[in-house]
């Protein structure tokens, strides 16, 4: 198996997971088209099982396990959406799921993971603590590590969202997805380069967590900044696997301010009547902040998830 998935691997993932995931809708909004000056197509993975695109990759990875691996279970470390996705994908297929979560993870995501039946281990909110806790579980149980994004089958599975979107909208001038660790953006890029080779591919990132943009512009992976952004799903750094795809296929990564993220999130709630989390509003924020780049274009936007903490909505804070 190669280090990087190809489009054929995304196709294989689609065939495997299609009976188990939702084919989420692509929504449009005349009001947001008028505000942006572009023709926007929102691939609504907030309607996916567990409320996020992560269920695609997690399902693909779990279904690729050998019988021996299934018997020992799976383990990961995640602040939320991947944790819930892996827990649901594994437990629903009779596979034990061990999830390492930082104590700082949103309460809504902690509750979701527990509700899917996973065994949760909490740790300090540092990468070192997360990795150490996962390593201890692997040593004790023999569980297979399913990394949130540094995983061949995860990336291939995430690419199926763009595959569905491009089929539904019949072509795009540009495609944009949020970027944290790069699994979604990598899968989106692999798929888009094959199905819409003339389309521009963009990542979108908070300015307070702009390590992916800095990495792309410098040519080497840059460390993440301290987690200051409200987009809690975009705090992780790229890995060599995702960075390899992004360097080869992504045209640019656009960054936005916190106020722009909140405004885009509010627009999606008010104008589209859909629940989105801050991370999934970042691509729309990037489109609105770069009107001249997208004006008149058909733009596919991956809406990554809808697991917002309803007790901590940011609208009033930035009003």
Catalytic residues: 54, 304
Q: How many whole angstroms separate alpha carbon 145 and alpha carbon 134? A: 8
**What DSSP assignment string belongs to 250-310?**
--EEEEE-HHHHHHHHHHHHHHH-----HHHHHHHHHHHHTHHHHTT-EEEEEE-B----G
Task: Evaluate whether 77 touches 143 at the Cβ level (below 8 Å).
Answer: no
Residue with tokens 């405004």: 263
- If you ran DSSP here, which 8-state letter would residue 52 be given? B
Half-sphere exposure of 281 (CA within 13 A, CB side): 30
Q: N- to C-terminal Cα distance for the chain?
A: 50
Task: Evaluate whether 88 touches 50 at the Cβ level (below 8 Å).
Answer: yes
Which stretches of the chain are assigned E, i.e. beta strand?
Answer: 26-27, 39-44, 74-77, 97-102, 119-123, 144-145, 174-178, 200-206, 252-256, 298-303
Structure tokens at 272: 């589209």
């Amino acid at each position: 198996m190669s280090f990087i998935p190809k489009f054929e691997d995304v196709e294989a993932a689609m065939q495997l997971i299609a009976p188990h995931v939702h084919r989420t809708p692509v929504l449009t909004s005349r009001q947001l088209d008028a505000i942006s000056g572009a023709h926007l197509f929102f691939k609504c993975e907030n309607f996916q099982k567990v409320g996020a695109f992560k269920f695609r990759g997690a399902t693909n990875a779990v279904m690729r396990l050998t019988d021996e691996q299934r018997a020992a279970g799976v383990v990961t470390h995640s602040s939320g959406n991947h944790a819930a996705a892996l827990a649901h994908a594994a437990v629903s297929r009779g596979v034990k799921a061990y999830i390492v979560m930082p104590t700082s993870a949103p309460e809504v995501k902690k509750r979701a993971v527990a509700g899917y039946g996973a065994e949760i281990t909490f740790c300090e909110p540092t990468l070192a603590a997360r990795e150490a806790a996962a390593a201890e579980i692997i040593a004790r149980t023999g569980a297979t590590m399913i990394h949130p994004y540094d995983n061949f089958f995860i990336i291939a599975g995430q690419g199926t969202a763009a595959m569905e979107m491009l089929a539904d909208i019949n072509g795009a001038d540009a495609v944009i997805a949020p970027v944290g660790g790069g699994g979604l953006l990598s899968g989106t890029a692999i798929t888009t380069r094959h199905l819409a080779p003339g389309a521009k591919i963009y990542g979108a990132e908070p300015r307070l967590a702009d390590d992916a943009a800095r990495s792309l512009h410098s040519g080497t992976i840059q460390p993440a900044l301290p987690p200051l952004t409200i987009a809690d799903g975009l705090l992780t750094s790229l890995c060599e696997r995702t960075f390899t795809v992004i360097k080869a296929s992504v045209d640019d990564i656009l960054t936005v301010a916190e106020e722009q993220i909140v405004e885009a999130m509010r627009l999606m709630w008010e104008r589209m009547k859909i629940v989105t989390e801050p991370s999934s509003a970042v691509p729309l924020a990037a489109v609105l902040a770069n009107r001249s780049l997208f004006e008149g274009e058909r733009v596919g936007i991956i809406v990554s998830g809808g697991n917002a903490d309803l007790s901590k909505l940011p609208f009033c804070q930035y009003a």
